[in-house]
Amino acid sequence: MIGLRRIFVLLCIIGVSGQISYAQSKKVWLHKADEFYAKQDYASALENYKKVVNDSAALKTLVLPYEHTVSNQKFKKSDSTKLNSPKTVDLRNYTEHQIAMCYKLTYDYGHALDYFKKTKDLGAYPDDHYYYAHAMMNLGQYEEAIAEYNAYLKSGNASDEYIEQAQKDLVGCYLAMSDENQHMEVQVSMADTNTFNKGTSSFAVQYWDSEDKLIFTSARDHGVVLDPVKQQSEFLCDLYWTEREYEDSWLPATNFGRPLNSAKHDAAGCFNNNNVIYYTRWSDENRTEKHIYLARMVAMRFFESYKLDSNVNIAGHSSVQPYITPEGKWMYFSSNRPGGAGGMDIWRVELDEEGLPMGPAENLGDPVNSSFDEVTPFFHQTTATLFFSSNGKNSIGGLDVFKSSMNLEGGTFGAPKNLGQPINSSYDDAYMIWDMYLKTGWFSSDREPCENGHCYNVYHVKNEPIVISIEGFVFDNETQEPIPNATVVIKDIEYKMMPAVITCDDEGFYSAELEQNMELFMKAQKPGYFADAASQTTKGITESTVLMQDFFLNKIPNEPVAIEGIEYDFDKATLRPKSKEILDELVKFLELNDNLVVEIQSHTDSRGNDAYNLDLSERRAQSVVDYLLDAGIPKSRLEPKGYGETTPSLVLDENKKPVKDDKGEFLRNTSDYINSLSSRDAKEEAHQRNRRTAFKVLTEDHEVVNESANQ
């Protein structure tokens, strides 16, 4: 009996000590898990949280060789300790919530959905209901997500910080299901696995020198490592390059090697126009800091790279994904540095001739940046359009690609627009770049399932046809009635295309298709009318667009047209400076109406010798013609004529309309009429109107010899 009692006591002691040891192990695993979580090593955190829940659970360590930085947007605390978190919670609830968060933060939304379903029902973390709906959205389950978002918003437990995002997500869900979001003619295909999509991840394609040469990031075998025993290159990002072999075929990728690539992560590279590369570097030991480095190259050999200064990189923060504009003047990048709107923001900094930042970076601000993440900037120089990715701004799930046009005069950006499907998906879509005319491009996405739950792949895109057209009407300016069968001429001022001549229909309507990246001069004409002109541009247009342009023509009068403001030196034919400014406008008018032959008329008042006045007026008319000739108007289009005092001007009313007498004849400022005026000022004004310069259209059929003359 004594022996059995001792054995029983011994077994109890062993059992208790085992429970104590197991409990201590849980504390160790939990402590390690929380430490890994704080360092953003969510894969290692997940492994240890799993052990806390079930010590037999042992997951493979998930290595995430991706540059995308996870932020908490505007939240000051970690997502695991949100403002709406409970003050106390039991160990299992806490651990399963953290497991769900780890899956979310490693973009494994399938597993995240399963765990958030449990934790939202337990109720310890009310905002897990939001994450549950968000996981559905990221899995493309839009109708189910809409129902859960609405349930969350109506629950009364939603935190203010998540209400805003839930409302944006709802818009994104509806957008994803709308026809407006579908671009059926856009063709998206995964790039080949021989050159691009090898290894565990590939992303961040950029052009290098031309559209036939690319650099990109990949984590694959045979990369750069320092310790092959401890390091696996298939889990480390390196920079690679390739060249086009023919059409859509590319040569095998080449690793840039050391010293550009290191035993750390080297990613998202972009060259300037002077053999300088900028790229992101970080290590797995400290994922909260990622910085932009610069390296110079001579004959494909790199000098040691170095980290850019505090104008770009800030200790304790991340600055990533540099893009250099083609002329090398600006660097756009993404950063969560202080001074932003929240999360990752798009910033830019001006570069000097050596490629170094000239001053502090500037935040692009609203409407580009938001309290959420804006990343992977690409500035399309031809159209002055910024492409970037955001997980706010009515994303249809994860990061979506947006575009925002720049106002070239003010340097500001317009409201971003979602590129829609199939470029965007319910997963992360980023690193969008385009060729010069937006016909083809590249981007990265994790939409395809992979072993580790989140793998970027490189995708190639062929854009839908961009059709730009212009249409409008030609009107009579006085009657506002359409002018049938008028002619509209469209010319590219850079002479990249042949002039187009369009004849309006019987309703005065015209339309024409245009090309991209053009600055256009337009002119409408009709016999019996002066021409009207307009300018249009197709630069900056990144989607099919219909431009509108109407024209208003004035009838050619039978009477001469006064050129107001022409002045001469007293008793001379010399033009004063003010007269030359007015004649410059006449030059533009005659260039526009290049079919007209005109008589340049000069008149004097009735005071003085008739013969002298006639001679003076002829010399003044010739002075005007000489000025027009010097300005490039052909001599065959100009006839000078001096009328002296023989043709008094018309009498005008207060609206500057000709006045008629009782017989219906136009009144003129004759000597008798002027002498009948009561005031001296009125008489002097009438004499001044007689001392005028005018032009009269003689014919409309002058042959235009040089079509390339200035407009």
Q: Summarize pLDDT for 268-283 with one digit per residue, the tens.
A: 999 998 899 999 999 9
Range 190-211 average pLDDT = 94
Note the pLDDT of residue 55.
Answer: 53
Model confidence at 72, in pLDDT bands (50, 70, 90)? very low
Mean pLDDT value across the chain: 87
pLDDT score at 368? 96
Strands annotated E in 352-467? 362-363, 374-380, 385-390, 400-407, 412-413, 417-418, 429-434, 440-445, 457-462
**Per-residue pLDDT for 430 more than 80?**
yes
Residue 649 has pLDDT above 50, yes or no: yes
534 — pLDDT class (breaks 50, 70, 90): very high
461-473: per-residue pLDDT in tens? 999 998 999 999 9
Residues 56-71, mean pLDDT to the nearest whole number: 45
Question: If DSSP codes are grouped into helix, strand and coil, which group holds residue 622?
Answer: helix
pLDDT at 39: 85
Question: 84 pLDDT band (50/70/90 cuts)?
Answer: low
Least confident of 116-130, 200-214, 422-436, 450-464: 450-464
Q: pLDDT tens digits for 386-424? A: 999 999 888 999 999 999 999 878 889 999 999 999 999
* Residue with more model confidence, 159 or 475: 475
- Look at residue 23 in the predicted model and tell me its pLDDT: 55
Phi, psi (rounded to 5 degrees) for 403:
-135, 150
pLDDT tens across 668-679, in order? 877 778 888 888
Amino acid (1-letter code) at residue 309: D
From CA 630, how far away is CA 638, in angstroms rounded?
12
Q: Check residue 632 and give its pLDDT.
A: 95
Q: Name the token pair of 632.
A: 């490039």
Are the C-beta atoms of 47 and 124 separated by less than 8 Å? no
**Mean pLDDT, to the nearest integer, of 602-623?**
84
What pLDDT is recorded for position 62?
A: 44
Residue with tokens 């006064």: 562
Reply yes or no on whether the pLDDT at 524 is more than 90. Answer: yes
Task: Over range 236-248, report the average pLDDT.
Answer: 93
Q: Is the pLDDT of residue 51 over 70?
A: yes
For the stretch 218-242, what's the b/e string if a residue is b when 16 or more beta carbons lie within 10 angstroms of its beta carbon? Answer: bbbeebbbeeeeebebbbbbbbbbb
Higher pLDDT, 152 or 20: 152
pLDDT value of position 41: 86
Q: Which two tokens stand for residue 48?
A: 């240890």
Between residues 29 and 461, the one the model is more confident about? 461
pLDDT of residue 86: 64
Alpha-carbon span 683 to 343, nearest angstrom: 76
* H or E element, residue 212: strand 210-219
Name the pLDDT band for 658 (thresholds 50, 70, 90).
Answer: confident
The answer to whether residue 61 scores a pLDDT higher than 80 is no
pLDDT at 45 over 80: yes
Helices (H), 142-222: 142-154, 160-177
Among residues of the chain, what percentage have pLDDT more than 70?
A: 90
705 has pLDDT over 60: no
Rg (CA), the chain: 38
Highest mean pLDDT among 121-130, 207-216, 224-233, 559-568: 207-216
Q: Is the pLDDT of residue 353 over 70?
A: yes
Quickly state the pLDDT bin for 75 (edges 50, 70, 90): very low
* 190 CB-near residues (< 8 Å, 6+ apart): 197, 448, 457, 458, 459, 460
pLDDT mean over 499-526: 94
Reported pTM: 0.74
pLDDT (average), residues 571-595: 89
Under a CB-based contact definition with an 8 Å cutoff, are residues 430 and 445 in contact? yes
Residue 17 has pLDDT above 60, yes or no: no
CA 466 to chain centre: 16
Contacts of 572 (CB under 8 A, 6+ apart): none
- Per-residue pLDDT, 669: 77
Helix axes 128-138, 109-122, angle to 10 degrees: 150
User: What is residue 676's predicted lDDT score, i.e. its pLDDT?
Assistant: 85
What residues contact residue 416 under an 8 Å CB cut-off, 6+ apart? 367, 368, 388, 390, 393, 402, 403, 404
Q: How confident is the model at residue 510 (pLDDT cuts 50, 70, 90)?
A: very high
